[in-house]
Amino acid sequence: MFNQNDFQIHSQRLSVIIMKKMNKPILTSFRRITENEKKKFNKLLNEYIHSLPSEEWLDTIINDFNDIVQEDVFNDGFDPSKVYVPNVNTEPQLLEEI
């Protein structure tokens, strides 16, 4: 059965699944949505978790996640410039040869 520890391990996958259900860009950060959207997100997340089968819940999450990624990311129309990446290191770094 799905528990709190499972939630922490699979939170990124769950976020992608719920953002898709909300018709938001799938890589949208929860922190960047409005308070009303957060309420809707939490409601949909709870509904999704409660709908998971008790035995093979991980397979369901992985299959749903993979379907979304195949549909929304691995396609010709994907525009990476529309994806928010919060921590990009733009400082040049010197790599030493060994």
Q: Between 4-21 and 35-51, two packed helices, what is the crossing angle to 10 degrees?
A: 120
Q: What is the pTM of this model?
A: 0.76
Other Cβ atoms less than 10 A from the Cβ of 68: the count is 17
Domain ranges of the chain: 4-75
Say if CB 80 and CB 28 are below 8 A apart. no
Say if CB 45 and CB 18 are below 8 A apart. yes
pLDDT in tens, 18-50: 999 999 988 888 999 999 999 999 999 999 999
Q: What's the rounded Cα separation, in Å, for the pair 98 and 93?
A: 16
Q: What's the rounded Cα separation, in Å, for the pair 67 and 21?
A: 13
pLDDT in tens, 51-97: 999 889 999 999 999 999 998 888 888 777 766 666 777 788 777 87
